Amino acid sequence: MFHRRIDGPIPRAVKAEGVWIYDETGKKYLDACGGPICVNVGHGRVEIADAIYRQARELAYVHGTMFTSDPVETLAGRLAVHSPEGIDRFYFCSSGCEANETAIKLARQIHIANGEKDRYRIISRWNSYHGATLGALSVTGKASMRDPFLPLMAPSVHIPPPYCLRCHFGLSYPGCGIRCAHALEEAIWNEGRKTISAFLAETVLGSTIGAVVPPREYYAIIRDICNHHGILLILDEVMCGMGRTGKWLGLEHYDITPDMITLGKGLNGGYAALSAVGCKKEHLDALRNHPGNFIHGHTFSHHAVAAAAALSVVEILEREKLIDQAADRGRFLEQRLAALSDHVHVGQIRGIGLMWAIELVRNKKSLEPYPRNDRLSERLAEQLKEMGILIYTCTGFSNGDGDAVMLGPPFIISEAELDVTVHAIDRALNQI
């Protein structure tokens, strides 16, 4: 086995139920991060397993160029109901990075179809994550992930993130005038406005920087800039979508409509590999009216079994009102995490819904980070794992240094289980 991690042994999981994962020794772990902020409806859902079983018996696989199927058609319709008006066409892939690469390629082909063949470059943000494959990595903004592969990457442009704690411009909100949003306008002019295809951004910034929620004015400015320059706005909702922020999509907190969205993680809740790109009918019409087809595809795109799993996840979210519950549990978690704010090495606690981060600092007043070589986030995560609590780590967002840990549990987590989690973090912080 070529394990995902090769720097040491990892336990073998044998069972998962609710918010708990069990290894082969019988030890149980509270999954306070939903894996990579992925598991939203909980582990061991029999109805999802049954949906997968029924679909696999009836129709497991057909090639997306030859057939469609009921699950993908139905799922697309259900997602359209919960998306901004106009986002009503969905293309299904297998992972978040595939969805983002699909969106990048779709944006390029939309511009070609509209007679703007010079538009090919993507602007994204530093300290972002859009995937590990080469196309998605080109627009990802985490230097340590990019550095080994720089010679292989497509050219892209990055602007500073809306990270108020460590503002790139040395300003303070709200007197800053949302300077980080206006950086997009500058990048467009400096890089050649007629060459820019799209701006791609995580609506709520994820695991590379730790649950950063942009100021409420940010996306209205971004939307206006994109409109002015004829640039497509793609919002990456892979992590923050499907209820994670306490609403179906993170963009609902900003009352804007992008040109495309990408979904993953919570779309399938961890049960099957599925992601999606949502776009507008007018985009498909432009492609249809242009000679050719959408030049793209994967063997396992539009997969009937994966779509059946995701459809079951959507039905659970709707039936059990779990997105409202995510908002409610998120408020409870925010209150409990506030007790950690006075810790001498907690620089900030931030987040929304059930997507929270604790940034750790060496000096609370100056916000001096720990050196990356100290591996503080990893050590804290390892300590908590020994205690039976799973969290997610975020590193390197402060000029290569910087440590944070993230919480993103299943929406079904109880208040008592959240209390257990926060108390364990408090103990582990003091021990580390």
Residue 289 sits in the same domain as residue 370: no
Residue 336 sits in the same domain as residue 281: no
Question: Considering 319, 343, 369, which residue would you say is the last residue of a domain?
Answer: 319
Q: What's the CATH number where 362 sits?
A: 3.90.1150.10
CA nearest to 235, candidates 217, 255, 216, 259: 259
Task: Please report whether residue 187 resides in a domain.
Answer: yes
Residue 340 sits in the same domain as residue 364: yes
pLDDT score recorded for residue 289: 86
Residue 154 sits in the same domain as residue 290: yes
The identity of residue 97, as a single letter, is: C
221 sits in the region (left: phi over 0; alpha: psi -120 to 50; else beta) called: alpha
SS (H, E, C) the chain: CCCCCCCCCCCCEEEEEECEEEECCCCEEEECCHHHHCCCCCECCHHHHHHHHHHHHHCCCCCCCCCCCHHHHHHHHHHHHCCCCCEEEEEEECCHHHHHHHHHHHHHHHHHHCCCCCCCEEEEECCCCCCCCHHHHHHCCCHHHHHHHHHHCCCCEEECCCCHHHCCCCCCCCCCCCHHHHHHHHHHHHHCHHHEEEEEEECCECCCCCCECCCCCHHHHHHHHHHHHCCEEEEECCCCCCCCCCCCCHHHHCCCCCCEEEECHHHCCCCCCCEEEEEEHHHHHHHHCCCCCCCCCCCCCCCHHHHHHHHHHHHHHHHCCHHHHHHHHHHHHHHHHHHHCCCCCEEEEEEECCEEEEEECCECCCCECCCHHHCHHHHHHHHHHHCCEECEEEEEEECCEEEEEEECCCCCCCHHHHHHHHHHHHHHHHHC
Task: Please report whether residue 2 resides in a domain.
Answer: no
pLDDT score recorded for residue 218: 98
Task: Please report whether residue 194 resides in a domain.
Answer: yes
Residue 243 sits in the same domain as residue 337: no
The identity of residue 328, as a single letter, is: D
Split into its structural domains, the chain has a count of 2
399 sits in the region (left: phi over 0; alpha: psi -120 to 50; else beta) called: left
Name the token pair of 149. Answer: 């592969």
> What is the residue-level pLDDT of the chain in tens, covering all 432 positions?
899 888 889 999 999 999 999 999 999 999 999 999 999 999 999 999 999 999 999 999 999 999 999 999 999 999 999 999 999 999 999 999 999 999 999 999 999 999 999 999 999 999 999 999 999 999 999 999 999 999 999 888 999 999 999 999 999 999 999 999 999 999 999 999 999 999 999 999 999 999 999 999 999 999 999 999 999 999 999 999 999 999 999 999 998 999 999 999 999 999 999 999 999 999 999 998 887 789 999 999 999 999 999 999 999 999 999 999 999 999 999 999 999 999 999 999 999 999 999 999 999 999 999 999 999 999 999 999 999 999 999 999 999 999 999 999 999 999 999 999 999 999 999 999
261 close to 277: Cβ distance less than 8 angstroms: yes
Residue 24 sits in the same domain as residue 93: no
Task: Please report whether residue 3 resides in a domain.
Answer: no
Edge-to-edge strands of the sheet including 392-398? 346-352, 355-360, 401-407, 392-398
Give the domain extent around 278: 48-319
Task: Please report whether residue 8 resides in a domain.
Answer: no
Question: Considering 319, 340, 366, which residue would you say is the last residue of a domain?
Answer: 319
Name the token pair of 406. Answer: 């993230």
Residue 313 sits in the same domain as residue 325: no
pTM exceeding the 0.95 threshold for the entire prediction: yes
Task: Please report whether residue 298 resides in a domain.
Answer: yes
Task: Please report whether residue 121 resides in a domain.
Answer: yes
Task: Please report whether residue 235 resides in a domain.
Answer: yes
Residue 309 sits in the same domain as residue 349: no
Question: Considering 319, 335, 365, which residue would you say is the last residue of a domain?
Answer: 319
Residue 125 sits in the same domain as residue 234: yes
Residue 170 sits in the same domain as residue 300: yes
Q: What's the CATH number where 104 sits?
A: 3.40.640.10
Rounded distance between C-alpha atoms, residue 325 and residue 282, angstroms: 35
CA nearest to 251, candidates 75, 34, 83: 83
Residue 258 sits in the same domain as residue 242: yes
Residue 258 sits in the same domain as residue 232: yes
Rounded distance between C-alpha atoms, residue 150 and residue 137, angstroms: 9
